[in-house]
Amino acid sequence: MRWIVDAMNVIGSRPDGWWKDRHGAMVDLVDRLERWASAEGDPKHVTVVLERPPSKAIRSSVIEIAHAPKAAANSADDEIVRLVRQLVENEAQPDIRVVTSDKTLADRVHAMGASVYRAERFRNLIDPPDTTAGAIDGD
């Protein structure tokens, strides 16, 4: 299974203050993806797609980090479509799952044979929400 992750859709799926430090949020997502991709003895092929080249390089030895050539409307979406098209053209039967909540992008990649996994659901998979926040002792 190849996972292609729309970074800003996943980052933006929780109002956790990510907008105060976009670069830090991207670094944090890469860290979470690395842990998830390495966990459970079932290595996953993961590519995260950023909306533009990061101001400071983000590196990983576990997952692939891609980005749109420049920031523009739908630039990350277009890069994801390009990656899916490349996989479809170069592999016999690619098993591709795109993580996004963008309906237009979902329709585009689905038409090429990729499945789609909603960003919020994926965020909960790689980073379960803290269900104890605000709990009172004894609850």
Quote the percentage of the chain above a pLDDT of 70: 91
What pLDDT is attached to residue 7? 96
* Domain edges within the chain: 2-126
1.10.10, 3.60.21, 3.30.360, 3.40.50: CATH of 2-126: 3.40.50
Among 3, 2, 14, CA closest to 123: 14
Rounded distance between C-alpha atoms, residue 13 and residue 2, angstroms: 21
pTM of the model: 0.87
Q: Which tokens is 104 given?
A: 């237009």
Evaluate the CA torsion angle 11, 13, 17, 20 in order and state its sign.
positive
pLDDT exceeds 80 at position 27: yes
Rounded distance between C-alpha atoms, residue 2 and residue 75, angstroms: 21
pLDDT exceeds 60 at position 57: yes
For the segment 124-136, what is each residue's pLDDT rounded down to a tens digit?
999 887 755 554 5
pLDDT exceeds 50 at position 139: no
For the segment 93-121, what is each residue's pLDDT rounded down to a tens digit?
789 999 999 999 999 999 999 999 999 99
What pLDDT is attached to residue 42? 63
Rg (CA), the chain: 16
**Per-residue pLDDT band at 64 (split at 50, 70, 90):** very high
Rounded distance between C-alpha atoms, residue 79 and residue 87, angstroms: 12
Q: How many angstroms separate the Cα of 21 from the Cα of each of 63, 101, 108?
A: 22, 22, 30
